[in-house]
């Protein structure tokens, strides 16, 4: 059921759109994303197939208004400005787009130039997410990144000059050779950028199966050291006016990424491109990961799954608890017809007693449950208790 707006009209449902661009100049040594190098002819065929999918799927989303778009990958900034323009133009041509639609694009500093950046902006991109990872060239080399720290500073300057004000910088902890000093140096260089980025993501390096790092893992900072790097990052960014709104994401007030919030709040989102996942009315489906099939417009949906009530509850808990605001007990009751304590008897109180969860009361919308700072450090342990299997 859609909610009436203030004037009493029924509003279209909100939709997030994810667009996957599976191309990179070269694979980073730790990366298991669906991405890789491809020649210009394949890239052009892909853009055509993508526009076709966006067009053909549009009838399914008639009752929706697109609130956010995220061009991810891979390296979307590898494409030509004109190709990004064509993709977004197709979306604008076939979908009901919100007036203040957030349109984010991931950018690798090794692929940006002034001309592209100005065309991206003209095409509607209003938020850039630039992958730096580290300001140490030794650490970038260890990760197999294609760019130097100087490439990043140059790209950031160009992006600011091109008029981008909503910029995220991706950082990483647990990099081979990373020390508290080098981590601190990276953090300081990033927050001292002019203008300072309004959003910073700080993820831990995870060694994924099938990557060169999995085959031959380089010496990594130990568990204790990694925990310290995390704490250092959190405390430093807080001190600089960034609020932590999710386990790995920090923003200046008003600049939390709206697209990611749709994922964590289990809103509806449609994914376009090879391997892209969608969640619509509690049905999850994913496009085929086979690039050749996708280029031939064979977009077999591989795992169409209607989420059961218990799966929805699990997701509500473990996605919602990623956010520092946590989950609303009232919303849980509204969605599932039972209280959290009925479904998970004793668990919330147990974790509150261990200092991992906290309850707070909002006069406006009742009880909220969230992870404490300590709970965020051991979130996997806490989340595991909310799984039914
Ligand atoms: S640039 Fe990003 S998507 Fe491409 S290989 Fe590196 S980490 Fe993976």
* Residue where the block lists tokens 């923003």: 251
Tens-digit pLDDT profile for residues 355-385: 999 999 999 999 999 999 999 999 999 999 9
Name the residue with the closest Cα to ligand 1, atom 6. Answer: 28
How many whole angstroms separate alpha carbon 291 and alpha carbon 358?
Answer: 45
| CA of residue 25 to ligand 1 center, whole Å | 9
| CA of residue 29 to ligand 1 center, whole Å | 9
Give the H or E element holding residue 379.
Answer: helix 379-384
Q: Is the dihedral of CA 382, 32, 144, 105 positive or negative?
A: negative
Q: For residue 220, count CB atoms less than 10 angstroms from its CB and return exposed for 0-12, middle for 13-18, buried for 19 or more.
A: middle
SS3 at position 36 = strand
Return the axis-axis angle of helices 149-161 and 114-123, rounded to nearest 10°: 50
Which of 7, 70, 42 has the alpha carbon at shortest distance from 271? 70
| CA of residue 74 to ligand 1 center, whole Å | 5
What confidence score (pLDDT) does residue 388 get? 83
How many whole angstroms separate alpha carbon 190 and alpha carbon 134?
Answer: 9
Residue of 21, 22, 24 best suited for mutating to test ligand 1, as the one with most atoms within 8 Å of CB: 24
Buried residues in 113-125 as b, exposed as e (16+ CB within 10 A): eeebbebbbebbb
What count of residues does the chain have? Answer: 389
What confidence score (pLDDT) does residue 297 get? 86
* Contacts with 9 (C-beta within 8 Å, 6 or more apart), sequence order: none
Whether residue 382 has its Cβ less than 6 Å from ligand 1: no
Residue of 20, 32, 74 best suited for mutating to test ligand 1, as the one with most atoms within 8 Å of CB: 74
Whether residue 72 has its Cβ less than 6 Å from ligand 1: no
How many whole angstroms separate alpha carbon 322 and alpha carbon 327?
Answer: 9
Whether residue 107 contacts residue 154, with contact meaning beta carbons closer than 8 Å, is answered with: no
* Contacts with 81 (C-beta within 8 Å, 6 or more apart), sequence order: 115, 116, 118, 119, 120, 122, 123
Extract the residue ranges of the chain whose pLDDT is less than 70: 1-10, 300, 302, 389
Whether residue 74 has its Cβ less than 6 Å from ligand 1: yes
Residue extents of the structural domains in the chain: 13-263, 310-389
Which of 179, 198, 182, 194 has the alpha carbon at shortest distance from 237? 198
Whether residue 73 has its Cβ less than 6 Å from ligand 1: yes
| CA of residue 71 to ligand 1 center, whole Å | 14
What confidence score (pLDDT) does residue 1 get? 42
How many whole angstroms separate alpha carbon 217 and alpha carbon 297?
Answer: 38
CATH topology for the 13-263 domain: TIM Barrel (3.20.20)
SS3 at position 133 = strand
Which of 327, 297, 292, 285 has the alpha carbon at shortest distance from 18? 285
Whether residue 28 has its Cβ less than 6 Å from ligand 1: yes
Whether residue 123 has its Cβ less than 6 Å from ligand 1: no
Residue of 73, 107, 170, 175 best suited for mutating to test ligand 1, as the one with most atoms within 8 Å of CB: 73
Atom of ligand 1 nearest to the CA of 144: 6
Atom of ligand 1 nearest to the CA of 26: 5
Tens-digit pLDDT profile for residues 52-70: 999 999 999 999 999 999 9
Whether residue 288 contacts residue 35, with contact meaning beta carbons closer than 8 Å, is answered with: no
Q: Which residues pair with 169 in a beta bridge?
A: 130, 200
**DSSP label of 74:** S
Whether residue 299 contacts residue 53, with contact meaning beta carbons closer than 8 Å, is answered with: yes
Whether residue 76 has its Cβ less than 6 Å from ligand 1: no
Whether residue 27 has its Cβ less than 6 Å from ligand 1: yes
CATH architecture of 310-389: Orthogonal Bundle (1.10)
Give the H or E element holding residue 223.
Answer: helix 223-239
What confidence score (pLDDT) does residue 114 get? 95
């Amino acid at each position: 059921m859609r909610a009436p707006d203030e004037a009493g009209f029924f509003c279209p449902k909100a939709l997030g759109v994810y667009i996957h661009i599976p191309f990179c100049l070269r694979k980073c040594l730790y990366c298991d994303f669906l991405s890789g190098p491809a020649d210009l002819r394949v890239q052009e065929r892909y853009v055509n197939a993508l526009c076709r999918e966006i067009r053909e799927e549009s009838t399914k989303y008639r009752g929706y208004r697109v609130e956010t778009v995220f061009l991810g990958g891979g390296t979307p900034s590898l494409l030509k400005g004109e190709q990004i323009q064509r993709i977004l133009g197709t979306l604008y041509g076939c979908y009901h787009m919100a007036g203040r639609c957030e349109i984010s694009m991931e950018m690798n500093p090794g692929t940006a130039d002034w001309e592209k950046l100005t065309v991206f902006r003209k095409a509607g991109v209003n938020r850039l997410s630039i992958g730096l990872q580290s300001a140490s060239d030794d650490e970038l080399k260890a990760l197999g990144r294609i760019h130097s720290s100087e490439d990043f500073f140059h790209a950031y300057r160009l992006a600011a000059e091109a008029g981008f004000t909503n910029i995220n910088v991706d950082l990483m902890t647990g990099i081979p050779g990373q020390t508290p000093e080098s981590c601190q140096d990276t953090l300081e260089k990033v927050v001292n950028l002019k203008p300072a980025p309004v959003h910073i993501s700080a993820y831990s390096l995870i060694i994924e199966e099938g990557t060169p790092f999995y085959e031959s893992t380089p010496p990594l900072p130990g568990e204790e050291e990694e925990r310290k790097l995390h704490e250092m990052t959190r405390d430093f960014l807080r001190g600089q006016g960034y609020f932590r709104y999710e386990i790995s994401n920090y923003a200046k007030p008003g600049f939390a990424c709206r697209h990611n919030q749709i994922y964590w709040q289990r809103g509806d989102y449609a994914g376009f491109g090879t391997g892209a996942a969608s969640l619509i009315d509690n049905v999850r489906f994913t496009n085929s990961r086979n690039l050749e099939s996708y280029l031939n417009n064979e977009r077999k949906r591989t795992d169409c799954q209607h989420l059961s009530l218990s799966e929805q509850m699990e997701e509500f808990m473990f996605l919602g608890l990623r956010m520092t605001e946590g989950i609303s007990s009232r919303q849980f009751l509204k969605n599932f017809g039972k209280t959290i304590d009925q479904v998970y008897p004793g668990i919330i109180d147990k974790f509150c007693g261990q200092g991992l969860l906290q309850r707070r009361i909002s006069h406006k919308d009742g009880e909220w449950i969230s992870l404490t700072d300590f709970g965020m450090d051991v979130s996997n342990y806490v989340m595991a208790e909310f799984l039914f299997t």
